Amino acid sequence: MRKYVPKDDVQKKAYYTDRFWVAPQVAKSPVETDAVFAADLEAIKAKCEVLDAYIQVDQLVVLINPNDNFTVAQILKEECGYNQLSECSAIDWLAKQKQFEVFYQFLSMSKRKRMRVKCFIDKEQAVESLNPLYRSADWAEREMYDMFGVKVNNHPYMKRILMPDDWVGHPLLKTYPLQGDEAASWYEVDRIYGKEARDIIGPENRESAVVDRYDTERFGRLGHEVARGSEFDENQPVTPLAYQEEGGVFIVKKFQEDGAVTITDRKR
């Protein structure tokens, strides 16, 4: 078994680097190439500052200041006809630029157009809730808080949605270890049996391929009947696995394989 290492400070350093080939971005085209999107962009520009705007994969992408997100969503819903907020979440760019990217994906049923509004926020910065405009923002923003720790102002029920309420940390942060930190690895033991039971139950076994045939506490030996916790050597007799005792059980006869007929000819 791998030696148990405490994971207390594992979240303090970012393990994530781009280890693999990073795909080049899809080509961006200017907003003027699409008349519908150009009109939408003008409507936003009339009230808010737009930092960047382009069309990518037939979708308008608008980069705004994080303080304007509610105003922009209001314009999009009431003036531009984007009546659905299909997705809203965040991306962790903390290692690269110390910021989260928060994005909102909108869909207009009448115009058959999709667009995305993006903004960058600092680590402790909160965004305004879109829940008064779009009901779908309710759970999406709770998930954003749960997974990234991005707080949302004026949300009716700002609480974790997927992880338990007493969970420590936010799992989709790139600094969060895949196999969990110290609190996560003991979560169910602490929760059910209390911290005193940690020594009895022991740390998690994360080595998926570990097999120790002489460890009779945790492993059975195939083809042998080994009592739990007992010791055995190689001379142990083979006891074939059987679902029934030799003599059969009360009322039920044991199936005799020798007397059975195997049908090979289907038309028999």
- x-or-dash string of contact with another protein, 158-197, rule CB under 8 A: -----xx------x----xxxxxx--xx-xxx-xxx---x
Q: Write out the binding residues for another protein, residues 6-45 only, by CB under 8 A.
A: none
Chain center to CA of 223: 40
Q: How near is the Cβ of 241 to another protein at its closest, in Å?
A: 8
* Cβ pair 142, 158 in contact under 8 A: yes
Q: How near is the Cβ of 166 to another protein at its closest, in Å?
A: 10
**According to the binding rule CB under 8 A, does residue 200 interact with another protein?**
yes
How far CA 126 is from CA of 61, 95, 115, 150, 175, in Å, comes to 22, 19, 23, 6, 20
- x-or-dash string of contact with another protein, 111-150, rule CB under 8 A: ----------------------------------------
**Beta strands at 113-121 and 99-108: parallel, antiparallel or unpaired:** antiparallel
Please tell me the count of residues contacting another protein according to CB under 8 A.
32
Q: Which of 243, 246, 257, 258 binds another protein (CB under 8 A)?
A: 243
- Sign of the alpha-carbon torsion through 222, 224, 229, 234: negative
Q: How near is the Cβ of 223 to another protein at its closest, in Å?
A: 14
CA distance 53 to 65: 12
CA distance 145 to 141: 6
Q: Exposure pattern of 72-103 as b/e (b: 16+ CB <10 Å)?
A: bbebbbeebebbebeebbbebebeeeebbebb
How long is the chain? 268
Q: Which of 36, 204, 216, 236 binds another protein (CB under 8 A)?
A: 204
Q: How near is the Cβ of 9 to another protein at its closest, in Å?
A: 17
Which C-beta is closer to another protein: that of 37 or that of 176?
Answer: 176
- Sign of the alpha-carbon torsion through 258, 260, 266, 268: positive
Q: How near is the Cβ of 20 to another protein at its closest, in Å?
A: 20
Q: Which of 250, 257, 260, 267 binds another protein (CB under 8 A)?
A: 250
* Residues engaged in binding another protein (CB under 8 A): 163-164, 171, 176-181, 184-185, 187-189, 191-193, 197, 200-201, 204-206, 208, 220, 241-245, 249-250
